[in-house]
Amino acid sequence: MTDDLDELLPAATHEAGHAVIGRALHFVCEGASISASGAGRATVHKRFRDGCAGSHASLIFSALVISVSGAAAERELLGRDDADIPDEGDRARQASLLRLLDRPDALALAEREAARLVHQHRGRIERVARALMAAGTLSGREIDSLIAQPTRPDPEPDRAAVREGVSP
């Protein structure tokens, strides 16, 4: 069973990263799934939730951030260095978005923004990944429900202890 979980965890984390960051950027997530083989898919649409506005370029950039957020989630949550190698679907999506943006630094900027957002939404990504591992498939409503649950913030460091060089 542990081997099965070890194979599912990267896919679940990757797809949860796409789903959660897609929602954070006001895109619609219809659902996510993973298979026993470790393959996965999150369906994040370029339709927008109420109140989402922006220029064409900013929306394309947001889509690029979402496309790199799966790998960013694997790096942040699992410490995977090999997450820098995108799967074929992510790579094709990124290539088409980069052509539309026609900006040499767009990928690096998107990767930095994805890393920041994944760090910010880590608890939500972990929650969605655990649910994906348990269920295999989650609907958009199920993902929205998981994202809406309160996430415990990281404890604030004891500032006096930090100043004195003592870790809490």
Tokens, residue 117: 């957002």
For residue 144, being part of any structural domain is answered with: yes
Q: Name the residue range of residue 11's domain.
A: 2-163
| pLDDT by residue, tens only, the chain of 168 residues | 344 667 789 999 999 999 999 999 989 888 899 887 766 665 655 454 444 555 788 999 999 999 999 999 999 999 987 766 667 888 888 999 999 998 999 999 999 999 999 999 999 999 999 999 999 999 999 999 999 988 665 444 444 444 444 433
For residue 44, being part of any structural domain is answered with: yes
For residue 75, being part of any structural domain is answered with: yes
Tally of CB atoms within 10 A around 90? 18
For residue 84, being part of any structural domain is answered with: yes
Q: How many domains does the chain have?
A: 1
Measured CA to CA in angstroms, residue 111 lies from 43, 69, 115, 148 at distances of: 20, 7, 6, 25
For residue 61, being part of any structural domain is answered with: yes
CATH number at residue 33: 1.20.58.760
For residue 168, being part of any structural domain is answered with: no
